Amino acid sequence: MGNSNAKSKENVQNNSQNTKTSDLPVALLSNQDDTKPNVLNCKSNDLKSEADNDDNVIDSSNVLNDLVHNIFLYANKYGYFSINSPAHQNVQCDACYKTNFVVDRYKCLVCKNYDLCGVCFESRKITLPHVKGHPMVRYSGPKEVFGDEIELENVTLGSFKNKFNGVEHEATCDGCKTHPIFGLRFKCDECNDFDLCYKCFEKKKDIGNHKVEHSLLLSYSIRNVNPSDIELLECLGSGAFGTAHKAKLISKNKIVVCKILEWNPFHEMFGLNVNSLYQSFIREVQAYNEINSNFVIKAYGSCVVNNQSLKKFYLLTEYMEKGSLTKLLKNEPDLSYRCRVSIAYNIASGMKRIHDKHYIHRDIRPDNIFITNNYVAKIGDMGISKLQDKFQNHSVLGPRAYMPKEFHTGNYNEKVDVYAFGLTIYHLITGQMHNFENNTVVLNEKPIIFDKLINKCIETLPSNRPTASMIESNLEKHYEVLSEVVSKCTGYFLLPKTNRTEICIKTCNLVSDLLYN
């Protein structure tokens, strides 16, 4: 963790072209209806004591309000309560200066005590003296690196060089073309499927489209797991070709989801041979291995079991306590709009990451969005994801009810995901799925927020739909302004839920008006 006193926010380098949000709260103030209480002034008469004439009572009431508000604000600082999640304790992001964040942590292996939260790493925000060409390592848990708990003093380039000495990676070095890579493996986070061995990394040279200043990660492929190390628990769901179980990775004492694809000769009747199922399994493993995002499900391991007439393919991914978005909305129909905004923002960030890695998900829908105990949303099920084809020639494989018309021609690009995202957010805000009749999408209810964004996403012409990057930027502004409104609204958490809901809805609609007008 860096020394925050020595940091200057003027050093922040943001490579993305995001509109500043500092003017938005001011605009919110100027847009208020003069006949109604200011949206930022939440000290309503309902919260005042009957003894308001007594200065001592007023002071003690205000102190209590401030104390409760600040405690709740800290626990709820990301738009959802983070007190149950294993945060990176006493770690500060050296770009945004947030501490104890719940997203992934990235540590520089060159700079001393330099860390980035996953959001800043993926958006390429850094501060000096760190530069993007420095290799970094990703923590997926408080002390977890590459699936193992490693003490901070051992998180160094030298220590990892010893740890990976002689280790074989199923990857080709894009510098010297050596296959496989032995020892340290460096993956470019900005190029698609670009790896370097240690010798080529040390040369510090541009190679094709890869530049020396690109962000690099010390990488390790999804590990092979022994089936005997997997203890299957309850069944979470099943389909035509497999099941998903809550499971325990015994050696790590870790709860995971175990997805099992099974093939037997009976499947030949459906035109599915074992090689097709295997290729689908490999594509999903490769997609998880390549994408590595805060808002895409993490994969922990895989294995293949061969019997005479039965083949099984196991994929272990992280366990999301609240299940799918569909399940969440069913179990918690009164989910706060502030939380819904945060979930929408998470999904957009995950989709942007998928597209940045040149993948099309092709199956974004509420059933494939998964939620943690703290309401962090992540995109899962990369089983039918596909690398983008420059000629846009793709197979027609995806959920028809969430696909636009160009999808059925086989000539489409990543904008099919944007269309599906729009329908997913419609479900998130309204609590109900859209109607799908005669291959036509019908929205029966006007969403109370994000109406303009949703309609933009489901435009008939792909070129009229926003990119994932534009959507993420849009939702980031909603999220940041709403967070600032809540932080300035002393007494917000003491207000009745209807009042909090009104503040969230009004704030989001004002932000939308500013962004679209």
Binding-site sequence positions: 259
For residue 297, report the phi and psi dihedrals to the nearest 5 degrees: -50, 140
Say if CB 384 and CB 363 are below 8 A apart.
yes
> How many alpha carbons fall within 13 Å on the CB side of residue 177?
0
Contact 496, 504 (CB under 8 A): no
Q: Which positions ≥6 away from 431 have C-beta within 8 Å?
A: 329, 333
- Report CA torsion sign: 11, 14, 17, 18: negative
Using CA atoms, how far apart are residues 403 and 171, in angstroms rounded to an integer?
34
Q: One-letter amino acid identity for 16?
A: S
Measured distance CA(402)–CA(419) in Å, rounded: 7
User: DSSP string spanning 198-212?
Assistant: HHHHHH---BTTB-T
Say which residues have a Cβ less than 8 Å from residue 100's Cβ, sequence separation at least 6: 82, 87, 88, 89, 90, 91
| Integer Cα distance of 351 and 361 in angstroms | 8
Residue 214: count of CB within 10 angstroms of its CB: 16
**Do 137 and 218 meet the contact criterion of CB atoms below 8 Å apart?**
yes
Annotated binding-site residues for ATP read 259
Please report where in the chains the tokens 């207000």 appear, as a residue. 495
Decide the pairing of beta strands 125-126 and 13-14: antiparallel
Please check whether residue 48 is in contact with residue 59, taking contact to mean a CB–CB distance below 8 angstroms: no
- Please say whether the beta carbons of 190 and 215 come within 8 A: yes
Q: In the structure, how many helices (H) and strands (E) does the chain have?
A: 12, 24
Cite the DSSP H helix spans in 76-223.
118-122, 157-163, 198-203
d(Cα 64, Cα 77) in Å, to the nearest integer?
A: 19
Please name which of 278, 323, 260 lies closest in space to residue 297, comparing C-alpha atoms.
Answer: 323
Residue 335 contacts residue 501 (beta carbons within 8 Å): no
Which residues, listed in sequence order, are joined to residue 296 by a DSSP beta bridge? Answer: 379
Among residues 372, 360, 380, which one has the least CA distance to residue 317?
380
